[in-house]
Structure 1
Amino acid sequence: MSRIHASLRASAMAAALLTGVVSSPAVLAAPQPAAASKQAAKQLDRLAQAFYDARAKFDPLLYATANGDSRYNDQIGMAIAPAVRASQFALYHKMQKQLQGIDRTGLSASGQLNYDLLGFEIAAMLDLEPFPEHLLPLNQFDNVPSTLANYASGTGSQPLTNPKQYRDYLSRLNQLPGWIDQAIANMKQGMRQGVVLPKALTAKMLPQFQQLRSAKPEASIFYTPVNIMPAQFSSKDKQELTAGYRQAAAKIGTAIDRLGQFIENEYLPASRDTAGFGAMPNGQAWYLARIKHNTNLPLTAGEIHELGLKEVARIEQQMAELGPKLGYTGPAKGLAQWVSAQDKFKPFKTEAEVLDAYRQIYARVEAKLPQYFSLMPKARLDIQLEPELTRETASDHYTPPAADGSHPGVFWAVVNDPKKYNDVGMVSLLMHEGVPGHHLHAALLKELPLPDFRKFDTEHFNAAAYTEGWGLYSETLGKEFGLYDDPRFYYGHLNAELLRAVRLVVDTGMHAQGWSREKAIAYMADTLGTGEQRATNQIERYMAWPGQALSYKIGALKILELREKAQKALGPKFSFQKFHEVVLRDGTLPLPILEAQVERWIAREK
């Protein structure tokens, strides 16, 4: 595989620039008096915990519940409220000054890493302060009403097994109408400032909110917990909770009606015809900030666009060589359509058969892990179907286990029609979303002795290039595991990798080069040979989450580059187990800091 170009070769000094820390993380502290070192360590620990708690309370759905921290499961958070948002940024500025007041040289090596990572996290949050992201509180992939609706079954990130958990979720439901009213107010302000969603995304939200409506409270999805209430609950709990959920469902129904009417009658006509952030006020700077936020690297949109085109060409050549091994002899451009049309790649009749096939792949991967990994989590992976509410617009994804063990890590497979479900991509999907991808990383995080701000850090935050890069890198290990000896599974991997390369092209194309939604869809459909509907869902995801799609390829190429560097430097002393331990043992790391860690390991091994 070709390596990422020179601008991606971030050094330890780049890490210092990103975090706002003058010292390079590669430089260890000089010996300091014990009392001063202990004082600095205590100050850092207190500040790190304060930062984590403040961020978790600010947006508990995103920064706590989604990562298995259940302490704030009774709070919805009002992060979109302008006053709350301003107060949060003021707090981050204060914390940044407090961090700069701590003597970094008085810390141990692990303390210095905590210092650098905390500095990075705070600076990354502040990088987005100039941009009015709160004026875009909803989109078709990410909105609080749908998130809470998906929790109603009790099988997601917010379990429903005891009365306290039921009351926590009920508390959130009671706060939802207020959140919806704030979202409407924000969107009206966005209309005045020209900060609005594209029309296509606004239109996609309407059916979702219509699904959340019900003729009576008892038919509401938010009333579902009453229908699944455990029999062992006391009569008092059952009575109180039933009444509470009925009342909450009724209020939410009214609020959802308000939201739906506003979106259809006011917001949709005011939504923009353009696809990218660059079309909005200060949009180019906003997108550049999003690039930095999602890649950790000082890349321009133009550099990423060119890298994407080169990667597309490289992968297409590999797929052309693979075609005959699948039994295909036609032109290279027709391979994807041919694979999609072959019944031999669609062996399923029921959803249960799809899940069983994923579990068989899981067993094969798990048997190979010890040869390549010495550091693995205790938590196992569960495989479930994506809930029907979000199945139409969702992508296959992963949610981490709870820190308290109350629910496992879950790979959510999106199966709309099992009879049309193609099995070629199942290995790469399982290895990315499950093991050794997101599950191995995120579940291990819960078990490592790390500060909370690092333990609960995932792709939602400021190191998506690590988390998604690790997921895509994990897909490549199918070759070492022998799983890609089957050409259909290797095709699935190359097809998935091609998608990630295409993302570099279309994301930068829309948000920086003025590509229309239609041009991006056409490029993706033609390059991937996929149906227009699938291409549309993908393109509209990138329209909603600018820059996020860049993290996969940028991160994977960096990890592969570091592995190749270690293999070349260490020769026979190189070990997959040791390399993976270095990448995983410190949790989620920005790419420049990860590079510094790998370089120190190489120096020690030499």
Structure 2
Amino acid sequence: MKKSLTLCALSAALMLAYAPATIAAGQPAGKVAGAVASQSKKQLDKLADEYYDAVARYDPVGATESGDNRFDDQIGMSISPAVRAKQYARYEAFLKRLHAIDRNTLDRGAQINHDILEYELKTAITFKDFPEHLLPLDQMDSMPVTLANYAGGEAAQQLKTAKHYRAYLNRLNQLPAWIDQAIANMREGMRKGVVLPRAPMTSALPQFQKLVSDTPETNIFYTPIKKLPATFSAKDKKELTAAYKATLSKKLMPSLRKLGTFLETEYLPATRTSTGWSALPHGVEWYQANVAASTTTTLGPEEIHATGLKEVARIQAEYGVTGPKMGYNGPAAGLPGWVAEQEKYRPFKTEQEVIDVYRKLDAVLRERLPALFTLMPKAPLDLRLEPELSRATASDHYTAPASDGSRPGVFWSVVNDPKQYGSTGMVTLFLHEGQPGHHFHIALLQEMDLPMFRKFGGNNAFTEGWALYAETLGKEMGLFEKPEDYFGHLNDEMLRAVRLVVDTGMHAKGWTREQSIQYMRDTLGYTEAVARSETERYMVWPGQALGYKIGSLKIAELRQKASAALGSKFSLPKFHEIVLEDGTVPLSLLEAKVQRWIEKESGR
């Protein structure tokens, strides 16, 4: 409840960033006003930089994932109660300093930075009293597995130079202390009743058991030594080999074995048989905080659940129209399962055939997008096949261009077996991951003069909401004329709608894990294994998957609102410009600036 009040007050504050400019009483004028504005902006810029730096130092692995490589030799101890307490004290001090800055003296751009920084700080502080540190690992996210995934040198951690190798080794040397703290935290969680559900922990256990080995040479963390570049000097090769062996044999291997034993013999028996977050102490409030952070709204679980059910029903009605066009005449809910069985929707023999379809689609989009957009990124979009080494664990995705223009944005197509690559979802996938989805948003973000916390931060509701909204533009660009392509779009929409239902169902309405699995099988045609994996993801990441659909629905709602209000004055390219021009923003701020645009255009 407290969270909702905080967000309501914050939404009102965010509205001010796009309210018509007014002169505050007693505000200085002329040169004095200019000096005050300059000083205020300097204070804000300094505070924003300090905030970003504090976050990066607190979570250096997160910084690495975001492309900030300054702390690639650190893992941080954010799960330490003492470190965590100090970080929340920093957030509170930052917020106090932010409120001391006269917002009225800032220009529009600085006011937006001010309001988003306030939003991020208030959101972070909301979690101060929820014991997240007592749940330091799960099947989706853990420090040991993240670092293991870096060992091949193909992920966010660079392993190309001797310096890189030493930075990664330094992280490995810090991992045993992290593991000791994690075990201590989980034991405290066992005493307080703050533990993971049993099913996801059972799924996670093999991950940690695979990190254990009998010799350093057979351990995954020894992989960098097996891949030492030929360009390294003989001295570096010798020193690095000895150092990695020593760290693994004397420190890391015993620590990983201890963790595996603890999880299997102590923690797993103590896990809970309940499904949702509401079973935890203060779980209802904790889940609401997660919902608010993920959606950047004040929507409650009941309202989101109802929205999800409504969307599922709408999409199933569309299935009923689309299915017969594809040759299917069964129940609408059975369409996804039927499509999955049809060989005709797996037409490829080679990976080149797959990428050629995407390139043809890209060429069509380059011709049609200018009718819908005037604001487009300068950085080009390249299309590439995922490297063979990482295909087994990757999915189709987008990587951002370099801010200096040295690297384009890239849509990566992951083709493990071209004969099993489905064609129905290709158009909607490219609209989402490529253009105008992630590429238009993220590449434009790179071109903006924004503080670091905004370039490397953001929120899922806007980022994924925009990409999901971008999929819907395929219809007005004539890209869904084939019923199978439109089905692919509907099927992706269905997944995001189902997430609203099962996430809130499990965490707020008493649904069991088994109910969620069955619901996903019934609505999405998933196999039991896929439905189980998805369900267990939502069980340990409460609220995380809600942002996609909530963000998309909000953008579509704002478009409809603007179109109805402006009539013939409405411009779709201008609407898209309004949405994208300031980078990633909370949905409340997005709504405020669209409203200001409507009022401005109505007055012309």
Q: 1:23 to 1:414 in 2, by over 3 A?
A: closer
Give the aligned partner of residue 270 of structure 2. Answer: 270
Provide, for residues 532-553 of structure 1, a one-character-per-residue CA deviation record: whole Å limited to 9, x for no partner.
1111111111111101111111
Alpha-carbon distance in 2 for matches of 1:414, 1:203: 28
Give the aligned partner of residue 436 of structure 1. Answer: 436
Residue 500 of structure 1 pairs with residue 496 of structure 2: yes
Q: 1:254 to 1:402 in 2, by over 3 A?
A: farther
Alpha-carbon distance in 1 for matches of 2:53, 2:380: 25
Provide, for residues 358-387 of structure 1, a one-character-per-residue CA deviation record: whole Å limited to 9, x for no partner.
555445445544443322151645655499
Q: Is the 8 A contact 2:154 2:390 kept in 1?
A: no
Alpha-carbon distance in 1 for matches of 2:565, 2:6: 22
SS at match of 1:159: coil
Alpha-carbon distance in 1 for matches of 2:410, 2:149: 14
SS at match of 1:333: helix
Q: 1:366 to 1:186 in 2, by over 3 A?
A: farther
Give the aligned partner of residue 319 of structure 1. Answer: 319
Residues 64-73 or 350-359, more deviating? 350-359
Percent identical: 54
Which residue identity is paired with 2:324? Answer: P
Q: 1:360 to 1:276 in 2, by over 3 A?
A: farther
Aligned positions, number: 589
Provide, for residues 7-61 of structure 1, a one-character-per-residue CA deviation record: whole Å limited to 9, x for no partner.
xxx9xx9977226849722333536411111111111111111111101111122
Residue 547 of structure 1 pairs with residue 543 of structure 2: yes
Alpha-carbon distance in 2 for matches of 1:475, 1:231: 45
Residue 328 of structure 1 pairs with residue 328 of structure 2: yes
Give the aligned partner of residue 379 of structure 2. Answer: 378
Q: CA deviation at 1:465?
A: 1.1
SS at match of 1:153: coil
Give the aligned partner of residue 159 of structure 2. Answer: 160
Residue 524 of structure 1 pairs with residue 520 of structure 2: yes
Q: CA deviation at 1:241?
A: 2.7
Give the aligned partner of residue 186 of structure 1. Answer: 185
Provide, for residues 548-593 of structure 1, a one-character-per-residue CA deviation record: whole Å limited to 9, x for no partner.
1111111000011112222333444433333222222211100000
Q: Is the 8 A contact 1:322 1:491 kept in 2?
A: yes
Q: What are structure 1's unaligned runs of at least 5 residues?
A: 1-9
- Rg bigger for which structure? 2
Provide, for residues 475-502 of structure 1, a one-character-per-residue CA deviation record: whole Å limited to 9, x for no partner.
1122233221121111011011011111
Q: Is the 8 A contact 2:148 2:220 kept in 1?
A: yes
Alpha-carbon distance in 2 for matches of 1:233, 1:455: 34
Give the aligned partner of residue 40 of structure 1. Answer: 40
Provide the alpha-carbon RMSD of the alignment. Answer: 2.7
Residues 68-77 or 497-506, more deviating? 68-77
Q: Is the 8 A contact 2:15 2:589 kept in 1?
A: no
Q: CA deviation at 1:433?
A: 2.8
Alignment of 1:56-95 (within 5 A): 56-62=56-62, 64-95=63-94
Q: Is the 8 A contact 1:203 1:268 kept in 2?
A: yes
Instruction: Pick one of 475, 483, 502 that aligns with 2:471.
Output: 475
Q: 1:23 to 1:333 in 2, by over 3 A?
A: closer
Which residue identity is paired with 2:448? Answer: L
Residues 347-356 or 101-110, more deviating? 347-356
Q: Is the 8 A contact 2:398 2:410 kept in 1?
A: yes
Q: 1:586 to 1:23 in 2, by over 3 A?
A: closer
Give the aligned partner of residue 3 of structure 1. Answer: none
Q: What are structure 2's unaligned runs of at least 5 residues?
A: none
Which residue identity is paired with 2:80? Answer: A
SS at match of 2:440: helix
Provide, for residues 187-240 of structure 1, a one-character-per-residue CA deviation record: whole Å limited to 9, x for no partner.
111111111111111011112223333342223322222333333333333333
Q: Is the 8 A contact 2:291 2:546 kept in 1?
A: yes
Alpha-carbon distance in 1 for matches of 2:71, 2:404: 14
SS at match of 2:16: coil
Residues 142-151 or 107-116, more deviating? 142-151
Which residue identity is paired with 1:207? Answer: P
Q: Is the 8 A contact 1:521 1:539 kept in 2?
A: yes
Alpha-carbon distance in 1 for matches of 2:500, 2:203: 24
Q: 1:581 to 1:319 in 2, by over 3 A?
A: same
Q: CA deviation at 1:275?
A: 1.1
SS at match of 1:77: coil
